[in-house]
């Protein structure tokens, strides 16, 4: 089968939503599936990476997530957006991966977040920023899994409370409460580390 080049594919499908692309894929248009991958691959990969904290595992899990979407047929019913559906699959795969990792005792952690972004700064300010990043990284890794997940979805993936709820299988009030608790837990951890808030 001949695939369109990345630029041609983006141009051909750029006005279509993920849901519309998925319907085209279900109708047999393989290029539409390629467009879905191009549309969500980076965001989904970042999300999974922030959960598993391993570049190679996140790449593999991202591929598996798209694979599950491709073979799931008509399981996607459109009750949520395709992005939310993909993130739910990705989250479930990442959680499964983390459980296996804990069972076997293997843990790795790469840089997760960039905070305190600013333009030019003095060497002292830069060093303080780098130390704050390191401490934030530590504090995030110490959070409970659901706290880390909800903060990642909210701040790094810019999801709404509704989208987070669908991705985490929670109601909006539960998401609000979870975010409140996650923020409080992160703040306590950062205060213990003496990070200026």
If asked whether residues 104 and 13 sit together in one domain, one would say yes
Q: Which of 30-44, 158-172, 182-196 has the lowest mean pLDDT?
A: 182-196
Per the model's pLDDT, the better-predicted residue between 127 and 79 turns out to be: 79
Domain that holds residue 180: 112-197
Q: Which of 8, 5, 83 is nearest to 41 (CA)?
A: 83
Q: How many domains does the chain have?
A: 2
Q: Is the pLDDT of residue 109 over 80?
A: no
Q: What count of residues does the chain have?
A: 197
> What would the mean pLDDT of 147-172 be, rounded to a whole number?
86
174 & 116 share domain: yes
pLDDT at 106: 46
| CATH (domain of 136) | 1.10.10.10
- DSSP run (H or E) holding 94: helix 82-104
Mean pLDDT value across residues 64-91: 83
User: How is 138-150 classified by DSSP, letter by letter?
Assistant: HHHHHS-HHHHHH
Report yes or no: 138 and 111 within 8 Å, Cβ to Cβ. Answer: no
Q: Is the pLDDT of residue 100 over 70?
A: yes
Local confidence band at 122 (pLDDT 50, 70, 90 cut-offs): low
Domain match, 139 and 50 both? no
pLDDT band at 166, cuts 50/70/90? confident
Closest CA relative to residue 98, chosen from 135, 138, 148: 148
State residue 112's pLDDT score. Answer: 32
What's the rounded mean pLDDT across residues 144-153?
88
pLDDT band at 114 (very low <50, low <70, confident <90, very high): very low
Considering the domain architecture, whether residues 144 and 91 belong to the same structural domain is answered as: no
- At 44 the pLDDT is 94
- Which residue from 175, 139, 117, 148 is spatially nearest to 49, judged by alpha carbons? 148
């Amino acid at each position: 089968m001949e695939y369109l080049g990345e630029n041609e594919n983006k141009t051909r499908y750029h006005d279509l939503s993920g849901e519309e692309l998925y319907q085209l894929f279900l109708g047999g248009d393989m290029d539409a599936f390629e467009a879905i991958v191009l549309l969500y691959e980076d965001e989904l990969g970042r999300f999974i990476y922030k959960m598993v904290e391993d570049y190679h595992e996140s790449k593999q899990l991202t591929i598996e997530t798209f694979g599950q979407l491709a073979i799931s047929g008509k399981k996607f019913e459109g009750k949520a957006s395709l992005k939310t559906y993909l993130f739910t699959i990705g989250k479930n795969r990442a959680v499964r991966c983390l459980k296996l990792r804990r069972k076997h005792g293997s843990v790795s952690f790469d840089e997760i977040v960039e905070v305190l972004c600013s333009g030019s700064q003095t060497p002292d300010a830069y060093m303080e920023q780098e130390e704050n990043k390191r401490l934030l990284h530590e504090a995030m890794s110490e959070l409970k899994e659901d706290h880390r997940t909800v903060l990642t979805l909210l701040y790094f993936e810019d999801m709404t409370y509704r989208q987070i709820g669908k991705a985490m299988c929670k109601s909006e009030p539960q998401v609000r409460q979870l975010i409140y608790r996650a923020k409080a837990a992160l703040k306590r951890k950062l205060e213990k580390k003496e990070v200026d808030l």
